[in-house]
Amino acid sequence: MAEASCPCCNSEMDLHGDVVSGHMHYCTFCYGIMASDRWLSTNMRQPVLRNVRNGVFEAGISAGYRCPTCDGEMVKGPVPTTEGTTIEVDGCLKCGSLWFDNREMEPFIPEIREITKKNDPSREYRRANSPSAVARGLISEVFGAITSFAGKKNDDLEEE
């Protein structure tokens, strides 16, 4: 199965599963999950899966992007949870895969935390080197330099 890029953050996603039980692509950066139709059939209770598919494919509207695994058209639709809330889930009209944003799968498959191993050590490295972290560091350095310069100028004034 080909590598897939996350539709939310464009990071390369990790592949879990096999041909028999289906595949799940997991983004270790934003925690999004793209689950194949077969993986969902293997890991999600059938009444729950039917509910999710109905919400996505019957009431779905264009999601505005292509499927990361097969390039099919993605649609999105509201899916009611057992907690009484609604989650917007995306699905591929071509291959039947479903996209769940960060932690959206948990109401449907609570065990997903164990499957995705939330404690990914590489995540801390990526977070520290993300564009926003680099920008915060630069801003902090610039602000620190300005503050330091302003402090020296005030010290010079006090000496006069």
pLDDT of 32 over the 80 cut: yes
Q: Where do the domains of the chain lie?
A: 14-119, 130-160
Query: What number of other Cβ atoms are within 10 A of residue 53's Cβ?
Result: 20
Of the CA atoms within 13 Å of residue 149, those in its CB half-sphere come to: 6
pTM to 2 decimal places: 0.69
* Residues 12 and 5: beta-carbon distance below 8 Å: yes
Rounded to an integer, the average pLDDT of 126-130 is: 53
The confidence score (pLDDT) of residue 61 equals 95
pLDDT of 132 over the 80 cut: no
The confidence score (pLDDT) of residue 109 equals 87
- Three-state SS for 98? strand
Q: How confident is the model at residue 130 (pLDDT cuts 50, 70, 90)?
A: low
